[in-house]
Structure 1
């Protein structure tokens, strides 16, 4: 595990002291030996999850989740690193992304904990990103080829783009970016095929964290977009209903409103009057900025009238 155990140990020590427990008191309540507790607090890897679970209950702090917060910044699973890459790729800020990845590689060269495999991964990722064109409209074909090559190149064992069972988050981001490029290039059949493969594989993960759930939401939303472009409105409704009825998935309010809006528009095209109430729900529960966007979009793109649009 690529963790900073010294930092983690200091945090666990401060939590125990803040709770007013001595090591002897912790031993009496939990049965955890003083030596085991001392090793954890001194940053000795690696504590057992069962031990951390007992301490979490005593301290009322999730020490297992806390452990993940002490990942080394350049680790593949670092949330901060992933957030940065997602923001750059989502906004198509490729020049800034290239600079950021270059700095990561430079830092890796100085970091003794970085493995050759990790260095090669980021080097390959950087070299691939440098080939992506900035313009999303004039160079769609080239971007598609580049993103396809990134997915193949990031895994030496990968035979095709999506042949691996699991993906690093960076790979999932790239796959979603590729799917969006397919859709923008009116290659909706390809986009749908990739989305369905990604949905299947992501659902097979042994557990789903918040980020993976949001990825699933993004995939479902883009799947509905692709079906919408193909005028397959029944499929749009089926997709949205499927995701909304899945109790394991809990999306952000914005994503939920976008899914409801897609269903409402599909119902509108099918002449089903229930679209109006669903649209009302989406507009009311959406954050203010998103609500304004929905009202503007349904009026300008679909000529849909709604009383909440007149309220502005």
Structure 2
């Protein structure tokens, strides 16, 4: 379900000011952090029911009920296209992404809400950037397209001042892709810095969280920091198991197994076998072959 978070945040700000409260005072009374209140008021965060209940007690209004008034009408159609896009990203199926781009474009034509229009435009540019990267192999142009996408909602953004802003989930998704391009264009250290920023910024129950864990695990493995690679693989696995969201487990267990192998842990075979099993469950036959070949070629592990 999607909401006009910008308008909802402005309403919360208005209510808070009507009570003559600063964010710091509201935080003290409600036990909700100042940072969380700031994210809500700037439209960068979907608060949980519990947080809204805590704020409601101080602001004397049912904020969960108020949030429903800001629900977006085309959210079901939007969810359908977005889920298909993410599924293709997960399976590395870039050749047919034009279909989701066209579907987003059609949705854009029928959507009047300006907040949702911005998100749709951002995701269209994300798809465009991925296509440019994988079909044209033009990393610089792909990076420019991703920066254009973030600037729709954060106009002064650049890869050098990114830490100056607060981001919503869609922006973090784009920022993650920027980090992955910077890994190739500039340095792994810059990419790690940006990915660590992203995972600190996002809530641990956000759907992008396991993807960030996977990418951090992968880049830490490349830099031979296997303890950190294992840490993020485990965090991503915990998220997927707790949410019963299994689509990324084959990648996360693979990263976990390699990190365990490099650290000398006996459990590595169990993790790698789980990676193979989830490949079979999820229909990821290509990735299963990649795991088997890499394990044999680079690590001498026979699966």
State yes or no: 1:143 paired with 2:142.
Answer: yes
- Secondary structure in 1 matching 2:201: helix
Deviation at 1:102, TM superposition (A): 3.0
Partner of 2:215: 222
Partner of 2:104: 101
Q: Cα 1:185–1:203, aligned 2, differ >3 Å: closer, same or farther?
A: same
Deviation at 1:203, TM superposition (A): 1.9
Deviation at 1:155, TM superposition (A): 3.0
Pairwise mapping of residues 33-48 of structure 1 onto structure 2 (< 5 A)? none
Pairwise CA RMSD of aligned residues? 4.2
Q: Quick check: which has more Rg, 1 or 2? A: 1
Deviation at 1:216, TM superposition (A): 0.6
* Distance in 2 separating the partners of 1:262 and 1:126: 30
Q: Cα 1:76–1:171, aligned 2, differ >3 Å: closer, same or farther?
A: farther
* Distance in 1 separating the partners of 2:232 and 2:154: 31
> 1:264 touches 1:278 (CA, 8 Å); kept in 2?
yes
* Distance in 1 separating the partners of 2:244 and 2:87: 18
Q: Cα 1:129–1:220, aligned 2, differ >3 Å: closer, same or farther?
A: closer
State yes or no: 1:231 paired with 2:229.
Answer: no
Pairwise mapping of residues 45-194 of structure 1 onto structure 2 (< 5 A)? 71-73=72-74, 75=75, 78-87=78-87, 91-92=93-94, 93=96, 95-108=98-111, 114-116=112-114, 118-119=116-117, 122=120, 134-136=132-134, 138-156=137-155, 160-161=161-162, 163-167=164-168, 169-183=169-183, 185=185, 187-194=187-194
Gaps of 5+ in 2: 4-48, 50-64
Q: Cα 1:125–1:227, aligned 2, differ >3 Å: closer, same or farther?
A: closer
> 2:146 touches 2:174 (CA, 8 Å); kept in 1?
yes
Deviation at 1:119, TM superposition (A): 4.5
Partner of 2:54: none
Q: Cα 1:96–1:88, aligned 2, differ >3 Å: closer, same or farther?
A: farther
Alignment deviations for residues 248-278 of structure 1 (CA, whole Å, 9 cap, x no partner): 9535334234222212112223444432233
Q: Which of the two has greater helix per residue?
A: 2
> 2:2 touches 2:72 (CA, 8 Å); kept in 1?
yes
Q: Cα 1:243–1:132, aligned 2, differ >3 Å: closer, same or farther?
A: closer
Number of aligned residue pairs: 231
Partner of 2:41: none
State yes or no: 1:280 paired with 2:273.
Answer: yes
- Secondary structure in 1 matching 2:154: coil
Gaps of 5+ in 1: 4-48, 50-63, 109-113
> 2:227 touches 2:259 (CA, 8 Å); kept in 1?
yes
* Distance in 2 separating the partners of 1:295 and 1:97: 26
* Distance in 1 separating the partners of 2:170 and 2:239: 26
Q: Cα 1:274–1:150, aligned 2, differ >3 Å: closer, same or farther?
A: same
Deviation at 1:87, TM superposition (A): 4.9
Alignment deviations for residues 52-73 of structure 1 (CA, whole Å, 9 cap, x no partner): xxxxxxxxxxxx9xx89x8522
State yes or no: 1:302 paired with 2:295.
Answer: yes
* Distance in 1 separating the partners of 2:145 and 2:188: 18
Deviation at 1:281, TM superposition (A): 3.7
Deviation at 1:297, TM superposition (A): 2.6
* Distance in 2 separating the partners of 1:292 and 1:84: 19
